[in-house]
Chains A and B, each alone.
Chain A
């Protein structure tokens, strides 16, 4: 119990250092956060015209206001993610992973702590700028009583993202270039995760497929919960996230153990 507390404090310290580190270049942080304003403004034009052309106020249970707030949260999650896959693959390719392996912390938990730390202020600024622009464009956000549920779902989403990103990064043990996997993963998230279009707008057959895959629990789930908070939806989302986390967390641990063993044998 005591050793677990010590380990937890260790990773909290790493998290805290990375949060402070992320403020080293505030101008860079600010410029990156303005990207969400651009994307949400474009989405607002697109969906405003689409709703007007369809002649409807509600499409698949979502008003224009809901749709824009949905995109605000989905974009905030997506734009706040650090480029973990690239970071891990670079450390595997240039051998600097060897310096991390002999430290008194777990490689994966170390990267989890640093990526959550790096995301912290990005998330806040993206949510702030995104929230302001959407409020100005379509009106106030959804019921704040649903926000605590959405925050828990967002944490689950970020942990799931971490598993996938780390798996892609660890593919560097096997392949020379991981960038194609990164790009395709990102685009699958855009479509099947519901970043570019809410899954509710997809054809029924594609909706069923998308909602049964883990990607929908990373963006669509939390964003939909945010605009239409509901305890049943929250419970189902949490159960899904925990199931996928158990599966992919296990796969990640196995892949890492195998890769690290392989590296140790050949690196000496």
Chain B
């Protein structure tokens, strides 16, 4: 466990140093992504200015949900950037490189790339939380904890859907749609959805684990909410790892020569 932690930290350090080689591009992407998120959020400012509330949800609630979801997305992009391209890696036979090395394949694959704009998303998440007006020191601690668990859930979901490539061929189109669905549902008030739709948000497309539940945990500490979030993220991660390694048994090596720098 300690060895793999050291390995992970080395990967992250390498990714960061690599990104900092092109400092201007790195900063441009980070700041650009923050502006991107801020402009997108203007929709909610306009909406709540016009319509005041939405089934009990107000602007401060949207700041919180956005903060958690953006923070989780940013953390996934920064630390596990290859999560978003896992199906292309599998379909392109590019797992060969990782299979030949004495490290856990899944961890190595997903952590060997960092998306620079993730820093913008993560930073925006923190600013969004601070702007919610629900700020407190204990809340900030719960925010970071909630973001980490939401990141685990989002990363696990990505691994799960992209791993379907082992059975379906290139599942990048389907995976893209599923991830889009998770993000979209996470960024809208959960009170919009009822019945079967709500059930889906807590199970098949667990967007609630990325938005509403961590946001509720940040708002106030509650053992039940913490348990729900931890159990949900843990189960999803376990399932994702199981599906990936199960699929890996079906993997066939490609003939392309591949270099990884």
Contacts and interface: CB of A to CB of B under 8 A. Distances in A.
- Indicate whether A and B interact: yes
A99 interface: no
Interface in A54-108: 54
Contacts, number: 96
A184 B32 CA distance: 7
Contacts of B25: 176-177
Instruction: Give the interface size class of chain B.
Output: 35 or more
Contact of B36 (A25, A27, A184): A184
B102 interface: no
Contact of B46 (A32, A35, A45, A197): A197
Interface stretch (A13-21, A119-127, A154-162, A187-195): A187-195
Interface in B103-143: 117
A119 to B, nearest CB: 17
Contact of A177 (B28, B35, B172): B28
Interface in B16-57: 22, 24-25, 28-29, 31-33, 35-36, 39-40, 42-43, 46-47, 49-51, 53-55
A190 B24 contact: no
Contact of B24 (A35, A42, A176): A176
Nearest to A31: B173
B181 interface: yes
Interface string A33-56: 011001100100110011001100
Instruction: Give the interface size class of chain A.
Output: 35 or more
B184 A38 contact: yes
Interface stretch (A201-209, A221-229, A234-242, A254-262): A201-209
A184 B35 contact: yes
Contacts of A30: 173
Given A49-B54, A50-B54, A177-B28, A42 B188 contact: yes
A60 B40 CA distance: 23
Contact of A201 (B22, B50, B172, B174): B50
A203 B45 CA distance: 11
B192 interface: yes
A181 B184 CA distance: 22
Contacts of A53: 51, 53-55
B46 A206 contact: yes
A184 B39 contact: yes
10 closest residue pairs by CB, A with B: A180-B32, A31-B173, A187-B39, A183-B36, A177-B25, A196-B43, A45-B192, A28-B173, A176-B25, A177-B28
Interface of A: 25, 27-28, 30-32, 34-35, 38-39, 42, 45-46, 49-50, 53-54, 175-177, 179-181, 183-184, 186-188, 190-191, 196-197, 201-203, 206
Given A34-B177, A179-B29, A203-B50, 5 more contacts: A32-B177, A38-B181, A50-B54, A177-B25, A203-B46
